[in-house]
Amino acid sequence: MNKTIRIETARGARFIVPLLFLRAAVSLSAALIFIAQASYGQSNSEASVAQRRAQHLRYGINASEWFAQVYDQKGYTKEHFEVWTTAQDIALIKAMGFDHVRLSVNPQPMWRRGQADRIPAEYLGYLDRAVQMIIDQGLAVIIDVHPDSDFKQKLTTDDSFVEQFADYWRALARHYATMNPELVSLEILNEPEFHDRYRWQGVQAKLAGAIREGAPRHTIIVAGAYWSSESELLFFDPLRDPNIIYNFHFYDPHIFTHQGATWSTNFVHYLKELPYPSTPENVQAAATLIPDAANRLQAIHYGLDRWNAARIDGEIVQIAEWAKRWNVQVTCNEFGVYRKAANPRDRAAWISDVRTTLEKYGIGWTMWDYSGGFGVVTKQEGHPAVPDGVTVKALGLKLPTLAQ
């Protein structure tokens, strides 16, 4: 016999409802509430692991041109790996006050087409020694998969290549699954070159799933499309995985941070000593160095935009509010200014303004880079690295005693 229950509303209306129907409705309502809560963001308890891990990623430096961006004749060889960044360099990183290293790793030298999960053991051995060298100094390490542009372009259109990349990541994650998850994080892809943000959402979710199969306890670091820009992160719907840190890169305004660079927008290679903060008046001299009138206007616009600490704050606060909304952890894994053509004083002012703004909102940071074109140190072959005191100060760190 189907039991019933009488329900009376606040206005006196009375209904007789089958008890089984009422129980089903209550169960469905609870399930919908659970799904809604689980779909976006994370509960406080779920977010605690990523929050704890983020405390190891507050003040970092990128170790570039070691296992990625290697363009000299030595290439990706044992000789290069042993001499480019040494135990002495890692000790200096620790002594300057950094708490983690983001280690760029190009997958292409160890990529086997059609069997990407079979990573060469010899190459992994070189990488293992580098990771262990960092951990031995008490530093956390982000293993940042950092391929060249042609590799990333294939991911934007080739589903088979995505499948192979997932195989590669599953195997790499499994290899590092035994290392301390409090100190080793796994970053899916540096600066994805996806203009289709919807495709990148799907591809990244698949890759995160492959990593999670290989390394169930390790924190995964993800990013928005279009070169990990902050605006693309704002578009991002958080993944359904509590142990994730969301990452963005900050190089705004690009015309200032990349002045003098030959690999960027073509006209910026003409620029030098473009000032920061910017005003309509103080950019005029640098703007005249650009021969093309349309490109010269970009420098004029930079002056009219009046880039300063308040403008930087206005950009980064958007990320802080997004993170608060979804109850997730965020970090800025790249920021910096190319050294070649920027005025050292203005370069330091921009670095200081970005760094202090990130810290204001509790966002960890990783400067680009250790000894490359944006470096915190200068380093010549055969000689120890020399910290740049102006840059170290801008980062809120201190020169080691021996370096003063």
What pLDDT does 19 receive? Answer: 46
* Residue of 121, 163, 120, 168 lying closest to 143 (CA atoms): 168
- What's the angle, vertex CA 195, arms to CA 191 and CA 198, rounded to 5? 100
Query: How far is Cα 228 from Cα 171, in angstroms, rounded to an integer?
Result: 24
> How confident is the model over 119-127, as a mean pLDDT?
97
More confident residue, 245 or 11: 245
Name the strand (E) or helix (H) holding 168: helix 159-176
> How confident is the model over 164-181, as a mean pLDDT?
98
In percent, how much of the chain has pLDDT > 70?
88
What pLDDT does 74 receive? Answer: 82
pLDDT band at 73, cuts 50/70/90?
confident
What pLDDT does 8 receive? Answer: 47
Q: What is the pLDDT of residues 345-354, one digit of tens each?
A: 999 999 999 9
- What's the angle, vertex CA 105, arms to CA 104 and CA 111, rounded to 5? 160
State the burial class of residue 367 (Cβ atoms within 10 Å of its Cβ: 0-12, 13-18, 19+): buried
CB 185 within 8 A of CB 220: yes
Query: Is pLDDT above 80 for 17?
Result: no
Residue-averaged pLDDT of the chain: 90
Q: What is the DSSP letter of 367?
A: E
**Distance from CA of residue 255 to its chain's centroid?**
21
What pLDDT does 22 receive? Answer: 39
One-letter amino acid at 251 equals: Y
Report the range of poorest mean pLDDT among 7-11, 66-70, 276-280: 7-11
Query: Is pLDDT above 80 for 47?
Result: no
Query: Is pLDDT above 90 for 24?
Result: no
Query: How far is Cα 65 from Cα 85, in angstroms, rounded to an integer?
Result: 9
State the CB neighbour count (10 A cutoff) for residue 85: 25
